[in-house]
Amino acid sequence: MARKSRRQSVIAQKETVTQEKVFKTGLYVRLSIEDVRDRKDSDSIENQTYLLKQFVEERPFLQIYSIYTDNGEKGTNFDRPEFNRLMDDVKAGRVNCIVVKDLSRFGRDYLETGNYLEKIFPFLGVRFISINDNYDSFNPENSNEGLIISLKNLLNDVYTKDISKKIISTFRERQSKGEFLGAHVPYGYSRPDDGTYKLVVDEEAALVVRQIYQWKVEEGLSDTAIARRLNDMGIPSPSKYKHLKGEWKNARYNNNIWQRQAIKAITENEVYLGHKIYGKIQASLYEGKRKSRVPRDEWTIIENDHEQIIDQETFDIVHARRLEVYKEFTERLEQNKHFENTENIFKDIAICGDCKCKLVRRRRIKNDELYYYFSCTTYETNSGYKCTRKHIVETDMIKAVYAAIRSQIDMVASVDDILRK
């Protein structure tokens, strides 16, 4: 007789205990940047998903509710888009069982992972299964394996911190050589063909950068106005430009347009003065430091590192005008601080009828009176080139909702009268 593996026996024993209950199961898959770099095929999105599906298909008491995939997200940070969606479904009662390939896919932070396994999931009544660790939180046998799981969490944590230390050491050595270490080359520059990490001017994109600064200085245009003008002229956005040049492969970049955030980033970036800046945001896992912004006096600034696109005088004029706008904004806030914000009763439920994105609540003060309205974020962030303009006054929305509720109540009352007759 073939010997049954311990993993199969652990799960099989639990099946006999809870076979009458069906668990709404969320399959969680995560691929980190390190996995891509190290080319671990066994940890690929496809392989993880296949393994989890095969595991669930063999167990009728597990029914897949959804698959949650975080691609390129770090295991030390639990603020991941799909993990957050999974937890929202858990809290809403849509998922009461989570299955992962192994604990390192769930998370590499020793304390926070342990907090989920030992406190949060038991409190919420959530079953947690880690296939390769032979762990099932609902299996009585696992009550004696808490130490083993804790040790695995600790080893994952130590491994991550060791990698963090090596990466930081390598980055600092390359910084000292003047190499550009950013994830993406700034718009207006490119890397030379010899493969070195120096910045050289991309003249085609640099012309656009100079034009943006010129519009700021000569016409005083806002970020939104400049984004709209560039879109009208048919000039590719930075991400679309890189896609057209073959630097960024994903086809979704081909649909990207200029947005005000891109204009703001370009007109604030000192890289266009020829300076290279490191250390604006720092994180050091092995030293226990989470990602955080760093004061300017602690930045590493290498001046005159590469050819400038914008001269200092032009940059200073644009910077001064942005400070003026910010000062006016803060002064208005101070003048109107006596207006108290009210609760947004339509939070997360007001949806744009065209693009299906959430409507954002704005406030406006007119004639010393405060009122709220809802607008479409898609329209706003894309300078009016996607979706359509919305301006729905909150009081009008409340009246419409009350009218709809009243209509439903009257309808029920009418049906009740008919039934009585």
Q: Which CATH number fits the domain that encloses residue 118?
A: 3.40.50.1390
Q: With DSSP H G I counted as helix, E B as strand and the rest as coil, what are the percentages for the chain, rounded to 5?
A: 50, 15, 35
Q: What is the DSSP string of 300-360?
A: EEETT-S--SS-HHHHHHHHHHHHHHHHHHHHHHHHTTTSPP---TTTTT-B-TTT-PBEE
How many CA atoms does the CB half-sphere of 288 hold within 13 Å?
2
Asked if residue 321 and residue 202 are part of one domain, the reply reads yes
Q: Report the pLDDT value the prediction gives residue 415, as an integer from 0 to 100.
A: 63
Amino acid 416: pLDDT? 64
Are 195 and 322 found together in one domain? Answer: yes
389 and 310 share a domain?
no
User: 410 in a domain, yes or no?
Assistant: no
Q: What is the pLDDT of residue 333?
A: 75
Strand partners, 284: 289
Q: In terms of domains, do 348 and 324 share one?
A: no
Q: Is 417 a domain residue?
A: no
Interstrand relation of 369-376 and 392-393 (parallel, antiparallel or unpaired):
antiparallel
Strands (DSSP E) found in 101-153: 127-130, 135-136
Asked if 139 and 264 sit in the same domain, the reply is: no
Radius of gyration of the chain (CA): 28
The closest alpha carbon to 380, from 206, 223, 250, belongs to 223
Residues 342 and 288 occupy one common structural domain: no
The angle that helices 312-335 and 260-268 make with each other, rounded to 10 degrees, is 120
Q: What is the structure's pLDDT at 321?
A: 93
* pTM value surpassing 0.85: no
- Taking the C-alpha atoms of residue 72 and residue 30, their distance in angstroms, rounded to an integer, is 8
CA–CA distances in Å: residue 177 to residues 170, 250, 266, 278, 375: 11, 32, 25, 13, 48
CA distances from 412 to 90, 133, 405 (A): 34, 55, 11
Residue 244 and residue 152 in one domain: no
pLDDT in tens, the chain (421 residues): 444 454 445 455 544 444 558 999 999 998 875 554 444 444 688 888 999 999 999 999 999 999 999 887 665 667 888 999 999 999 999 999 999 998 878 876 656 777 888 888 888 999 999 888 788 888 766 544 444 554 454 454 545 555 555 555 555 555 555 554 555 789 999 987 766 667 899 999 999 999 999 999 999 999 989 999 999 999 999 999 999 988 888 888 888 899 989 999 999 999 999 998 876 766 544 344 556 777 888 777 888 888 999 999 999 999 999 999 888 878 877 777 777 788 888 888 888 888 888 888 888 887 778 888 998 888 877 767 788 888 888 888 888 888 888 888 877 766 666 666 6
In a domain, 172, yes or no: no
Specify which residues 129 forms β-bridges with: 99, 136
152 & 279 share domain: no
- Is residue 89, in this structure, part of any structural domain at all? yes
User: What pLDDT shows up at residue 195?
Assistant: 61
Query: Could you tell me if residue 320 is inside a domain?
Result: yes
Domain of residue 366: give its range. Answer: 338-401
Residue-level pLDDT at 371: 84
Domain count, the chain: 3
